[in-house]
Amino acid sequence: MSSEEFDAIKLTEKEYSQELQKKGIWVHLWRVAGQYANVSIFEVEDNAHLHEVLMGLPLYPYMTLSVTALCKHPSSIK
């Protein structure tokens, strides 16, 4: 893929992620230092919704993902 194509996909990805953040679906997004990688937390309705969100990522075909389901901890004050 040319650098121009890659830059265009990254721009589309950025717009998509920012829209999901505004909607409260993409709750946290952190860069992994020293890597082209991130750690994200999503607030989704169910597994199917998460699948839909992830499949919508323009870079999805080029990603290796690891999903860990989380739930609220009973000692959390948030």
Kindly report, residue by residue over 10-61, the tens digit of the pLDDT.
999 999 999 999 999 999 999 999 999 999 999 999 999 999 999 999 999 9
Q: Is residue 77 part of a domain?
A: no
Domain that holds residue 53: 3-62
Q: Distance (Å, rounded) from C-alpha 33 to C-alpha 1?
A: 25
Question: Is 19 domain-assigned?
Answer: yes
pTM, 2 dp: 0.85
Asked whether the beta carbons of 72 and 66 are under 8 A apart, the reply is: no
Cα distance between residue 66 and residue 6, in whole Å: 22
The phi, psi pair for 27, rounded to 5°, reads: -80, -40
**Segment 35-43 long-range contacts (CB within 8 Å, at least 24 positions apart):** 41/70
CATH number at residue 30: 3.30.70.1060
